[in-house]
Amino acid sequence: MKRLGTVAAIAALLVGGGVAYAVGETTGVVSACATTPAHTLAVNGSPVSTIAGESACSTVTYTVPTVTETVTTTQAAPLSGYLFDDEFNGPAGTAPDSSKWSVYGGSMPNRWGSECFVDDRAHVALDGNGHLAETATYNPGGVPCKNGSGLYESGGMDTGNFPTPLFSYLQGDAEARIKVPCESGFGMWPAWWATGASWPNGGEMDYLEIMRTTNAGFDAKQTLHASTSTGGPWSLGHHDVATSKWCGDFHVFGAKWSPSSVAFTVDGQVEATFTKANMQAGWDWPFDTAPEKLFLDLQTGGQGGTIDNSSLPQTMLVDWVRVSAS
């Protein structure tokens, strides 16, 4: 309930009735006066005398009820309609949104390839054109990592740590629009993926990896991982081999995650679907119960192939990341 404020000035004057009222006031007194004009008497067209005009005043006491209005508000859904959305808009050289992403650096995380993740704007930053830029560089002097030191610095981030990540989701549609570096599979290992609270028990969905294969640069791999009853991992994957290198343009990689099913997509088309029915004896299916958080990183070496130092720096650009309900 919202009460309107008092208006001190008279809002309207009703000339016919001689009553004025002020919106929002409760009581008041208004005096109104009327004056008749003077009249001149004449005989045969010659003025004889003048009768002066007369004034008459009256006083009116009025009461105006307090005016009220009822305003009903409804909590609106986010305009985007997404569970998670980052368009990476912002000035060049600024950090990703810290309310959505935890940037790697220092002691986190372990290396997956030969990179040392560094939390600085040379390796993880917005480019000012609506993109996230993750850049790998060569540092012959070596940089410290959690598990030793290395010659390569790069950028990576995720949506926080369990048990209270900045964002995680349990089923829905996740997509990212990405332009991978042209050395992908030749030393660069771009990755867009998700995992649960523990690996491999919580499962892993690799929406995109480009690695060292016989079709390096042309092969976008999408994979599911989870645990077996003996404690090791199982994997089911799909290779989307293109006719030209994936680095030639932006492409959208993701998955439609629903009960008992994960369908990997490229540029909006379902490329491979894996279901609970695909499980072999002793394979666990955590994808109906375990929420997962998101990762974006540019790894180097390892399964990304042998690095050509002269090719660095190399950059992965991400236009946007979006997660919506199924």
CATH code for position 269: 2.60.120.200
Clarify whether residues 23 and 92 are in a common domain. Answer: no
Give residue-wise pLDDT tens across range 53-79.
Answer: 555 565 555 554 554 444 333 333 444
Give residue-wise pLDDT tens across range 245-275.
Answer: 999 999 999 999 999 999 999 999 999 999 9
Give pLDDT, residue 110: 73
Structural domain including 288 reads 84-324
Last residue of a domain, which of 12, 42, 69? Answer: 69
Clarify whether residues 246 and 133 are in a common domain. Answer: yes
The answer as to whether 75 is a domain residue is no
Q: How far from each other are the two terminal CA atoms of the chain, in whole angstroms?
A: 38
Give every residue of the chain whose pLDDT is below 70, as ranges: 1-80, 107-108
Clarify whether residues 51 and 172 are in a common domain. Answer: no
The answer as to whether 244 is a domain residue is yes
Clarify whether residues 32 and 94 are in a common domain. Answer: no
Q: In this structure, what token pair is assigned to residue 258? A: 């629903």
Cα gap 31→14, rounded to integer Å: 12
The answer as to whether 139 is a domain residue is yes
Give pLDDT, residue 91: 98
Give pLDDT, residue 145: 80
Residues 6+ apart with CB under 8 A from 20: 10, 12, 13, 14, 30, 32, 62
Give pLDDT, residue 291: 98
The answer as to whether 306 is a domain residue is yes
Cα gap 278→271, rounded to integer Å: 16
Spell out the long-range contacts of 196-201 with Cβ–Cβ below 8 A and sequence spacing 24 or more: 196/162, 196/286, 196/290, 196/291, 196/292, 196/293, 197/162, 197/163, 197/290, 197/291, 198/162, 199/225, 199/233, 200/225, 200/226, 200/227, 200/232, 200/233, 200/234, 201/226, 201/227, 201/284, 201/286, 201/290
Instruction: Domain count for the chain, please give it.
Output: 2
Give pLDDT, residue 76: 37
pTM over 0.85: no
Give pLDDT, residue 152: 94
User: What's the burial of 293, exposed, middle or buried (CB within 10 Å: 0-12/13-18/19+)?
Assistant: buried
Clarify whether residues 88 and 160 are in a common domain. Answer: yes
